[in-house]
Amino acid sequence: DTAVSQTPKYLVTQMGNDKSIKCEQNLGHDTMYWYKQDSKKFLKIMFSYNNKELIINETVPNRFSPKSPDKAHLNLHINSLELGDSAVYFCASSHHLSGGPGETQYFGPGTRLLVL
Protein backbone atom coordinates (compact mmCIF):
# COMPACT_ATOMS: atom_id res chain seq x y z
CA ASP A 1 0.00 0.00 0.00
CA THR A 2 3.03 2.27 0.53
CA ALA A 3 3.36 4.87 -2.22
CA VAL A 4 7.03 5.85 -1.88
CA SER A 5 9.24 3.61 0.21
CA GLN A 6 12.87 3.91 1.23
CA THR A 7 15.31 1.51 2.80
CA PRO A 8 16.94 1.58 5.20
CA LYS A 9 15.09 3.89 7.55
CA TYR A 10 18.19 4.40 9.69
CA LEU A 11 21.83 4.12 8.67
CA VAL A 12 24.75 4.56 11.06
CA THR A 13 28.20 4.13 9.56
CA GLN A 14 31.83 5.14 9.83
CA MET A 15 33.56 7.85 7.85
CA GLY A 16 35.07 6.58 4.62
CA ASN A 17 32.52 3.81 4.09
CA ASP A 18 30.36 3.40 0.99
CA LYS A 19 26.61 3.03 1.44
CA SER A 20 23.43 2.88 -0.63
CA ILE A 21 19.88 4.01 -0.01
CA LYS A 22 17.06 2.51 -2.04
CA CYS A 23 13.82 4.13 -3.13
CA GLU A 24 10.80 2.63 -4.81
CA GLN A 25 7.48 4.13 -5.84
CA ASN A 26 4.37 2.21 -6.84
CA LEU A 27 2.43 5.20 -8.09
CA GLY A 28 3.34 4.78 -11.74
CA HIS A 29 5.09 8.16 -11.71
CA ASP A 30 7.62 9.16 -14.34
CA THR A 31 9.78 11.39 -12.16
CA MET A 32 11.74 10.73 -9.00
CA TYR A 33 13.88 12.95 -6.78
CA TRP A 34 16.40 12.87 -3.98
CA TYR A 35 16.40 15.60 -1.35
CA LYS A 36 18.76 16.21 1.56
CA GLN A 37 17.36 17.67 4.78
CA ASP A 38 20.07 19.05 7.02
CA SER A 39 20.05 19.51 10.78
CA LYS A 40 18.30 22.86 10.40
CA LYS A 41 15.47 21.13 8.51
CA PHE A 42 16.40 22.87 5.26
CA LEU A 43 15.29 20.75 2.30
CA LYS A 44 17.57 20.83 -0.74
CA ILE A 45 17.09 19.08 -4.06
CA MET A 46 19.98 16.82 -5.06
CA PHE A 47 18.87 14.92 -8.15
CA SER A 48 15.88 14.37 -10.34
CA TYR A 49 15.31 11.54 -12.80
CA ASN A 50 12.62 11.41 -15.46
CA ASN A 51 11.98 8.04 -17.05
CA LYS A 52 15.36 6.76 -15.87
CA GLU A 53 17.18 9.80 -17.26
CA LEU A 54 19.07 12.27 -15.08
CA ILE A 55 17.41 15.66 -15.45
CA ILE A 56 18.57 17.70 -12.50
CA ASN A 57 21.92 17.41 -10.80
CA GLU A 58 22.40 20.18 -8.28
CA THR A 59 25.78 21.02 -6.82
CA VAL A 60 26.40 17.69 -5.18
CA PRO A 61 29.83 16.07 -4.65
CA ASN A 62 30.81 13.32 -7.11
CA ARG A 63 30.74 10.90 -4.19
CA PHE A 64 26.97 10.86 -4.61
CA SER A 65 25.79 8.79 -7.54
CA PRO A 66 22.13 8.13 -8.25
CA LYS A 67 21.05 5.10 -10.25
CA SER A 68 17.66 4.44 -11.77
CA PRO A 69 17.35 0.83 -12.97
CA ASP A 70 13.74 1.47 -13.97
CA LYS A 71 11.08 4.14 -13.68
CA ALA A 72 9.93 2.91 -10.28
CA HIS A 73 13.33 2.91 -8.58
CA LEU A 74 15.90 5.58 -7.82
CA ASN A 75 18.78 4.51 -5.62
CA LEU A 76 21.44 6.73 -4.10
CA HIS A 77 24.97 5.48 -3.65
CA ILE A 78 27.41 7.46 -1.52
CA ASN A 79 31.15 6.81 -1.61
CA SER A 80 33.69 7.75 1.03
CA LEU A 81 31.14 9.04 3.51
CA GLU A 82 32.01 12.23 5.41
CA LEU A 83 30.71 13.66 8.67
CA GLY A 84 28.87 16.39 6.76
CA ASP A 85 26.82 13.79 4.92
CA SER A 86 24.85 13.16 8.11
CA ALA A 87 21.30 14.21 7.32
CA VAL A 88 17.89 12.85 6.45
CA TYR A 89 17.59 11.87 2.80
CA PHE A 90 14.13 11.95 1.26
CA CYS A 91 13.08 10.33 -1.95
CA ALA A 92 10.06 11.76 -3.76
CA SER A 93 8.14 11.15 -6.95
CA SER A 94 5.72 13.03 -9.16
CA HIS A 95 3.60 12.10 -12.12
CA HIS A 96 5.57 14.10 -14.67
CA LEU A 97 8.43 16.53 -14.81
CA SER A 98 6.45 18.99 -16.85
CA GLY A 99 5.79 21.32 -13.96
CA GLY A 100 2.23 21.73 -15.11
CA PRO A 101 -0.89 22.10 -13.00
CA GLY A 102 -1.63 19.17 -10.80
CA GLU A 103 1.98 18.21 -10.26
CA THR A 104 2.54 17.27 -6.66
CA GLN A 105 5.48 15.52 -5.12
CA TYR A 106 4.94 12.51 -2.89
CA PHE A 107 7.65 11.90 -0.34
CA GLY A 108 9.09 8.75 1.13
CA PRO A 109 9.59 8.28 4.89
CA GLY A 110 13.22 9.40 4.81
CA THR A 111 16.52 7.71 5.62
CA ARG A 112 18.32 9.05 8.66
CA LEU A 113 22.03 8.80 7.93
CA LEU A 114 24.55 9.31 10.71
CA VAL A 115 28.23 9.26 9.86
CA LEU A 116 30.56 8.76 12.82
Partner 1 sequence: AQSVSQHNHHVILSEAASLELGCNYSYGGTVNLFWYVQYPGQHLQLLLKYFSGDPLVKGIKGFEAEFIKSKFSFNLRKPSVQWSDTAEYFCAVKSGGSYIPTFGRGTSLIVHP
Q: Which residues bind partner 1 (CB under 8 A)?
A: 4, 33, 40-45, 48, 55-56, 90, 92, 97, 99, 101-110
- Distances in Å between the Cα of 53 and the Cα atoms of 14, 17, 50, 56, 65 are 31, 27, 5, 9, 13
ω into 8 cis (within 30 of 0) = yes
Residue type, 28: G
Q: Considering beta carbons, is residue 15 or 55 the nearer one to partner 1?
A: 55
d(CA 19, CA 76): 8
CB of 18 to partner 1, least distance (A): 25
CB of 15 to partner 1, least distance (A): 25
Q: Considering beta carbons, is residue 41 or 83 the nearer one to partner 1?
A: 41
Q: Considering beta carbons, is residue 78 or 91 the nearer one to partner 1?
A: 91
